[in-house]
């Protein structure tokens, strides 16, 4: 209780019930009236934990200083040998087929997971005197299925390896030479479609 007597101030603690562990006080004016002040909760026993999402939360997942991996920071290796001049890679789309199961006593069609299908990727590269991709394609159409392993490597901001996608049992199934256009001053490119059988993300 807080009371005023002349110019003196005296503090007397008051316990409030019904609010849990709360503390409050009453003020007695010189005219004898009492004014209740709102009780205040005691949260000293509890810890407040904020939920945040920022650069620090990304560390360890992108292996960078907190930024996401960028789509233009990559290179490719075929059987461990680095291939330069790669412009575009597409078609990394593993698929798990679904198999339908119909039971005579149910009106609902059920689906079970079937075999995984990995499909093919497309690599677009600068057309240079290096005929590695075309030579690989010629080997396959000549009757020798030369299967290779391909690694697509993502780099962080510092240029170090961040993640990689490994494709196994790969061989080319389609080759497309450079398109020519007298109004286009860009680089001539070649494109090869490569089929792969298994997929690994590291």
The DSSP result for 57-82, as a single string, is HHTTTSSSSSPPPPTTSEEEEETTEE
76, 89 contact by CB (below 8 A)? yes
77, 58 contact by CB (below 8 A)? no
37, 25 contact by CB (below 8 A)? yes
The strand pairing partners of 81, in sequence order, are 78
DSSP 56: H
Q: Could you tell me the CATH superfamily of domain 70-201?
A: Hcp1-like (2.30.110.20)
Predicted pLDDT of residue 36:
60
Positions of the chain with pLDDT under 50:
1-24, 51, 64
Q: Of 39, 1, 46, 36, whose CA–CA distance to 19 is shortest?
A: 39
Predicted pLDDT of residue 35:
54
pLDDT digits (tens, 9 = 90+) for 125-180: 999 888 889 999 999 999 999 999 999 999 888 888 889 999 999 999 999 999 88
- The domain ranges of the chain are 2-41, 70-201
Share of the chain above pLDDT 90, in %: 35
CA-to-CA distance for 191 and 88, rounded, in angstroms? 9
Mean pLDDT for the chain overall: 77
Q: Where are the beta strands (DSSP E) in the chain?
A: 2-5, 8-11, 14-16, 22-24, 26-28, 34-36, 40-41, 74-78, 81-83, 86-90, 95-101, 110-117, 120-126, 148-155, 161-176, 189-195, 198-201
């Amino acid at each position: 209780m807080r009371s005023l007597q002349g110019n003196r101030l005296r503090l007397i603690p008051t316990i409030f019930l019904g609010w849990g562990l709360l503390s409050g006080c009453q003020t007695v004016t010189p005219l004898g009236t009492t004014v209740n002040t709102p009780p205040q909760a005691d949260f000293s026993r509890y810890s407040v934990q904020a939920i945040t999402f920022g650069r620090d939360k990304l560390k360890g997942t992108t292996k960078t200083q907190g930024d996401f991996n960028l789509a233009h920071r990559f290179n490719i290796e075929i059987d461990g040998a680095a291939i330069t001049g790669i412009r575009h890679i597409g078609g990394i789309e593993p698929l798990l087929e679904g198999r339908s199961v119909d039971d005579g006593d149910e009106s609902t069609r059920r689906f079970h997971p079937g075999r995984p299908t990995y499909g093919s990727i497309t690599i677009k590269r600068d057309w240079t005197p290096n005929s590695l991709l075309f030579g690989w394609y010629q080997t396959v159409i000549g009757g020798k299925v030369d299967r290779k392993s391909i690694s697509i490597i993502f780099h962080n901001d510092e240029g170090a390896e961040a993640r990689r996608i490994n494709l196994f049992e790969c061989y080319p199934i389609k080759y497309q030479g450079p398109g020519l256009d007298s109004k286009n001053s860009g680089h001539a490119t070649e494109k090869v479609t490569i089929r792969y059988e298994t997929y690994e993300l590291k």
